Chain A
Amino acid sequence: MTRVGFLCSRVRKDEKLLLEELRDRADVERIDPREVSLALDSPEGAEVSPEELDVVVDRAMSYSRGLYTARFFGSYGVPVVNTSDVARVCGDKVETSLALREADVRTPDTRVAFTPESALETVEAVGYPVVVKPIVGSWARLLAKVNDRDSAEAVFEHKKVLGSYEHSVFYVQDFVDKPGRDIRVAVVGGEAVAAMYRESDDWITNASVGAETTACETDGRLGSVAVDAARAVGAEDGVVGVDIMEDGDELSVHEVNHSLEFKALTEASGVNVAGRYADRVMEVAE
């Protein structure tokens, strides 16, 4: 029987759904990144050795733990969903923006500066409003819509003084005046399998901050843009969540998530995303 290594610390509803589907198909061994130490040739502390695994699923909530553990298991010769290359590109917004642009996938114009002064000059040149984001982070944490020079000076100074060194990589993106909603599409193995609108009165429309979700069709241009974005980050064989904004008549990809949270998407779309996810994992294991 196929053996699946399930990399995670915290088990949310998403992980419970996925574990249930995987256990219907395979033997599942939990691997908690907090409990292992990763030597160059093998992990120490894991209850199962890499040779006994056919595939590893990265469901770590921590970007750094997931990234490096996936990298090690890949190096041990075990296929990982998603690979550490996908995690690296998706987990770093600079990498994501560049990957999307290099693949000709429409994404908001983005600039990176390394000092508050140069960041301010950039924003002044682009014009307000802009969105300032941390290069690593999720769930809409520490996003700032900057509407004027006073706000820009304050945000950049706070990031410089209060943040870790990564907050001095100033990532500035054009503000897209979307129609009160954005769209989350799950792309599994190069196919758009489910989508939902996320609506909010706030400019942030993330489900984690209370946006209302409703089903959305995945066919046509939306599905095709989502699949292109997944391919752009190297996830044609993996499972990702693509976030898309309607920008006038265009569709603009602003994020690709390598550790797809699908609980809300499952409820909104009626699609068994966990089942599709598990099927993909089994295909990668073969």
Chain B
Amino acid sequence: MTSAECPVCEAEVEPEWEVERGEIIDCGDCGAELEVADTEPLEYIEAPELEEDWGE
């Protein structure tokens, strides 16, 4: 796991820790919230917007 392309701005984004599928990280270039879609190979999708029934 090294880096992968931000789907919003195409910058290379490298996680600072060992990430899990489903984790959210920020793109340092454009600030988009990215969801880790896969770890091998690393792949991001744009994180979904908060939905009304999310929570505890």
Which residues of A come within 8 Å of B, CB atoms? 8-12, 15-16, 19, 30, 32, 61-64, 91, 136-139, 141, 164, 241, 257-261
CB contact under 8 A between A138 and B56, given known A10-B24, A11-B20, A19-B20: yes
Are A63 and B23 in contact (CB-based, < 8 A)? no
For A63, what are the chain B residues with a Cβ–Cβ distance below 8 Å?
53-55
Query: In the complex, A164 Cα to B53 Cα: how many Å?
Result: 12
Are B55 and A11 in contact (CB-based, < 8 A)? no
Query: In the complex, A96 Cα to B47 Cα: how many Å?
Result: 31
Query: In the complex, A9 Cα to B50 Cα: how many Å?
Result: 13
CB contact under 8 A between A261 and B21, given known A10-B35, A62-B51: no
User: How many chain B residues have a CB neighbour from A under 8 Å?
Assistant: 14
Query: In the complex, A61 Cα to B22 Cα: how many Å?
Result: 11
Contact with A along B22-55 (1 / 0, CB 8 A): 1110000000000110000000000100011111
Are A258 and B56 in contact (CB-based, < 8 A)? yes
Among the listed B20, B23, B55, which residue makes an inter-chain contact with A61, where contact means beta carbons less than 8 Å apart?
B55
Are B52 and A137 in contact (CB-based, < 8 A)? yes
For B22, what are the chain A residues with a Cβ–Cβ distance below 8 Å?
8-11, 15, 30, 32
The distance from the CB of B26 to the nearest CB of chain A, in whole angstroms, is 14
- Beyond A137-B53, A241-B56, list 7 extra A-B contacts (CB 8 Å): A10-B24, A11-B21, A11-B24, A15-B20, A19-B20, A136-B53, A138-B54
10 shortest A-B CB distances, which residue pairs?
A: A138-B55, A257-B56, A11-B22, A63-B53, A11-B23, A11-B20, A61-B54, A138-B56, A259-B56, A139-B55
Q: What is the predominant secondary structure among interface residues of chain B facing chain A?
A: loop
Which residues of B come within 8 Å of A, CB atoms? 20-24, 35-36, 47, 51-56
Query: In the complex, A91 Cα to B52 Cα: how many Å?
Result: 12
Query: In the complex, A136 Cα to B53 Cα: how many Å?
Result: 6
Query: In the complex, A258 Cα to B55 Cα: how many Å?
Result: 10
Are B55 and A137 in contact (CB-based, < 8 A)? yes
Query: In the complex, A126 Cα to B54 Cα: how many Å?
Result: 31
Query: In the complex, A11 Cα to B39 Cα: how many Å?
Result: 13
For A141, what are the chain B residues with a Cβ–Cβ distance below 8 Å?
52, 55
For A139, what are the chain B residues with a Cβ–Cβ distance below 8 Å?
54-56
CB contact under 8 A between A260 and B56, given known A11-B20, A11-B21, A11-B22: yes
For A261, what are the chain B residues with a Cβ–Cβ distance below 8 Å?
56
Query: In the complex, A32 Cα to B22 Cα: how many Å?
Result: 9
Query: In the complex, A136 Cα to B55 Cα: how many Å?
Result: 9
Query: In the complex, A253 Cα to B36 Cα: how many Å?
Result: 37
15 A-B pairs within 8 Å (CB atoms) are namely A10-B47, A11-B23, A16-B23, A30-B22, A61-B54, A62-B51, A63-B54, A137-B53, A137-B55, A138-B55, A138-B56, A141-B52, A257-B55, A260-B56, A261-B56
The distance from the CB of B21 to the nearest CB of chain A, in whole angstroms, is 7
For B23, what are the chain A residues with a Cβ–Cβ distance below 8 Å?
10-12, 16
Q: Which residue of B lies closest to A13 (CB)?
A: B23
Query: In the complex, A64 Cα to B55 Cα: how many Å?
Result: 11
The distance from the CB of A46 to the nearest CB of chain B, in whole angstroms, is 14
Q: Which residue of A lies closest to B54 (CB)?
A: A61
For B56, what are the chain A residues with a Cβ–Cβ distance below 8 Å?
138-139, 241, 257-261
